[in-house]
Amino acid sequence: SLYRKGTDIRMLPCSFWFLLLFAAGGLVLFIHLQDLSEMVQQQGPGDDRPLRQRCLCVPHQWPCSPAQSCQPDYISAGSGGPKERRCPAGDRPLNTSAVLLPHIFSSSSASGSLSADRWKTLSRVLEARQQLMKEICAKYKSSISRTITRHHVAHIYVEDKYKLLYCQVPKAGCSNWKRTLMVLAGQASNAQSIKHDTVHYGNHLKRLDSFDRQGIMRRLETYTKVVFVREPLERLVSAYRDKFENPNNYYHSLFGKPIISKYRVNASKAALSTGNGVTFQEFVQYLLDVHRPVGMDIHWEPANQLCNPCLLDYDFIGKFENMEEESNFLLRRTGAPRNLTLPNFKDRNPSAERTSMQITQKYFAQVSMWERQRMYDFYYMDYLMFNYSKPFKDLY
């Protein structure tokens, strides 16, 4: 009932609100007094000001807890109204009063909680990534259309409860993130209980392009937009190993057959009719062919083309290379249940070694220097936008 009153916030007399604030603040202070010393040590995300001037909130929930107030810049533009308000994102400081939320800076050492130092470092790293993205996008913006269409958001999954938009980049940890989204949405009690096929074919998660234009724009404006990327050529090798080195009727038939028939000299009848056994070299030939016999696929489409970072301005650009820590950082920042951490499943071919940079180099040793260079060029925008360095010494 307190919350229902809260929606009429502007109609209450100042003195009432002030009193309420005081009372609630005192209560909160009392409750958390015991945690205080720990809190000071674990202070916080990228902000060196004394704790008392800061206010940590559960992001994206409205109403905010009583002692918090939503600052005007957090009231989303556009579709307006009290329902659209939200509290500031997890690590944004407010100067109202010190509300300490134990579930952000957990005093327990549960997995998924981060030390204050790591939290600060990650905040800076992620901010730098966003900054770099802005610079690259500004530099190349002439070639980018500014109108968002359904097509631009086709790979984005929606989690309405915690207001997350997750752009799916296959082979960059997306199964585990989709599991996590399903747990956040209350579709499963824990990630362990969700089978791989349910994740990918269950149609449990809503995609952003399934909403009408207003629904799309409202979510893009007010939700936390997240993408996880991976070293582009490592991602490519991972896709090749997954789809072509293992039994897979769909990929062998749709991609294997035309690839073998175009690039293999004297292909056997069996190879032509099954599409089994595409070599890495043939796969690279197909990718570099301006007249590909079959189109691209999301597993090897450049991440920037799947997720359109210059158009959608992601709030969180995570990296597969540090997936677990960055995901848990995001989950804590989002105010997800404390016991929820990113699961670490390797769904397909669990016995095969995970694709590493070493493995990637072995595969690229099978193609010519010219092809290595062309493949790097092919993913060049991903390298630039996501700040990956040249994977081989002989590239220019």
Ligand X SMILES: *[C@@H]1O[C@H](CO)[C@@H](O)[C@H](O)[C@H]1NC(C)=O
Among 40, 116, 132, 217, binds ligand X (CB under 6 A): 132
- Interacting stretch for ligand X, rule CB under 6 A, among 170-178, 236-244, 280-288, 332-340? 332-340
Of how many residues is the chain composed? 396
Residues 51-90, interacting with ligand X (CB under 6 A): 53
Residues 6+ apart with CB under 8 A from 258: 275, 293, 294
Shortest distance (Å) from residue 331 CB to ligand X: 11
Q: Are 111 and 338 in contact (CB under 8 A)?
A: no
Residues 246-265, interacting with ligand X (CB under 6 A): 265
If residue 134 lies in a helix (H) or strand (E), which one and from where to where? Answer: helix 116-139
Q: What does the alpha-carbon distance between residue 281 and residue 302 come to, in Å, rounded to a whole number?
A: 19
Helix 369-378 vs helix 232-244: angle between axes, to the nearest 10 degrees? 100
Shortest distance (Å) from residue 246 CB to ligand X: 27
Our CB check for ligand X shows the closer of 108 and 147 to be 108
Shortest distance (Å) from residue 35 CB to ligand X: 20
Alpha carbon of 321 to those of 3, 155, 344: distances in Å?
42, 21, 13
Residues 173-202, interacting with ligand X (CB under 6 A): 183, 189-190
Our CB check for ligand X shows the closer of 235 and 319 to be 319
The two tokens of residue 4 are 């229902």
Identify whether 63 is preceded by a cis peptide bond (ω within 30 of 0): yes
Is residue 319 near ligand X by the rule CB under 6 A? Answer: no
Our CB check for ligand X shows the closer of 203 and 339 to be 339
Shortest distance (Å) from residue 70 CB to ligand X: 12
Q: Is 373 exposed, middle or buried (0-12, 13-18, 19+ CB in 10 A)?
A: middle
Among 19, 31, 128, 365, binds ligand X (CB under 6 A): 128
Residues 357-396, interacting with ligand X (CB under 6 A): 387
- Interacting stretch for ligand X, rule CB under 6 A, among 172-180, 216-224, 267-275, 334-342? 334-342
Our CB check for ligand X shows the closer of 112 and 170 to be 112
3-state secondary structure of 3: helix
Is residue 337 near ligand X by the rule CB under 6 A? Answer: yes
Our CB check for ligand X shows the closer of 36 and 128 to be 128
Q: Which of 306, 304, 289 is nearest to 255 (CA)?
A: 289
Q: In the beta sheet, which residues pair with residue 226? A: 166, 316
Our CB check for ligand X shows the closer of 311 and 340 to be 340
What is the DSSP-derived secondary structure letter of residue 87?
Answer: P
Shortest distance (Å) from residue 233 CB to ligand X: 16
- Interacting stretch for ligand X, rule CB under 6 A, among 278-286, 297-305, 309-317, 333-341? 333-341
Is residue 266 near ligand X by the rule CB under 6 A? Answer: yes
- Interacting stretch for ligand X, rule CB under 6 A, among 80-88, 127-135, 200-208, 252-260? 127-135
What is the DSSP-derived secondary structure letter of residue 299?
Answer: T
Binding flags for ligand X, 11-50, as an x/- string (CB under 6 A): ----------------------------------------
Among 34, 37, 95, 356, binds ligand X (CB under 6 A): 95
What is the DSSP-derived secondary structure letter of residue 252?
Answer: I
- Count residues contacting ligand X (CB under 6 A)? 14
Largest CA distance in the chain: 87
CA torsion sign, 270 to 352 to 395 to 141?
positive
Residues 6+ apart with CB under 8 A from 107: 35, 38, 39, 42
Task: Compute the half-sphere exposure of residue 100: CA atoms within 13 Å on the CB side of its CA.
Answer: 25
Q: Is 256 exposed, middle or buried (0-12, 13-18, 19+ CB in 10 A)?
A: buried
- Interacting stretch for ligand X, rule CB under 6 A, among 128-136, 233-241, 300-308, 357-365? 128-136
Residues that bind ligand X (CB under 6 A): 53, 95, 128-129, 132, 183, 189-190, 265-266, 337, 339-340, 387
